[in-house]
Amino acid sequence: MIETLYGRVLEINYTASAAVIECAGVGYRVTVTSHTLSKLPAPVFEADGLKLAGDPVRIYTHLAVREDAVELFGFSGRDELDTFRTLIGVSGIGPRAAISILSVFTPSSLAQAVYAGDAKSISQAQGIGPKTAARVVLELKDKLNIYLSAPSGGRPDQKVQSAPLSGKMGDVQSALSALGYSKSEIASAMRFVDGDLEVEEIIKQALAVLVKNI
């Protein structure tokens, strides 16, 4: 398994969203996300036009082996690689589809979309239909919390916790919890309710959101 590449950029193909990274004289072609592509420096050569002179880069990689092809996928950060590997664990999501999603979303913004049940935004990625996007939301709902923004003063790698609410909203939270919904599901639904309504109406609104995201 090739886990990382550390070398200089030899070629960049913006159309194919790919780059060739030369490491110890060997050039590795990697397909990358648009975010990673934007961070790669342009190739720089010495006066002889042969030797590379640019600064080296480190690319985290995933080697995909199929019967008809062996492909290397590259990422600028470990978080992007980990999210890619989580995505290809979803039924119907292959490496190319995962690259497409991560070319639209960062790990953090994808986590936010999944957390909010926003399949419509995910379906905007090239080659991702509404049913596939809905499957991503369903299967990853509790797997990307680590990339959500941490509370003030917290660490970025801490999972977001749903703090207990008080008063009317606390009653709503308790009612939804009694119905079997998780803290993360309740917290997501509560973002879309009108807190000025009566408890019963707020519960109805939250349930409508929860049912829609199932």
Mean pLDDT within 92-120: 90
Q: Are 86 and 143 in contact (CB under 8 A)?
A: yes
- The rounded distance, in Å, linking the Cα atoms of 141 and 179 is 18
CA 130 to chain centre: 17
What is the reported pTM? Answer: 0.68
Condensed to tens digits (0 to 9), the pLDDT of residues 44-88 reads: 998 888 889 889 999 999 999 988 889 999 999 999 999 999 999
Residue 156 clears pLDDT 50, i.e. is over it: no
Nearest to 16 by CA among 2, 1, 37, 42: 37
Cα–Cα separations (whole angstroms), residue 4 to 7, 20, 40:
10, 13, 15
Q: Assign 151 a pLDDT band (cuts: 50, 70, 90).
A: very low
Amino acid of residue 95 = P
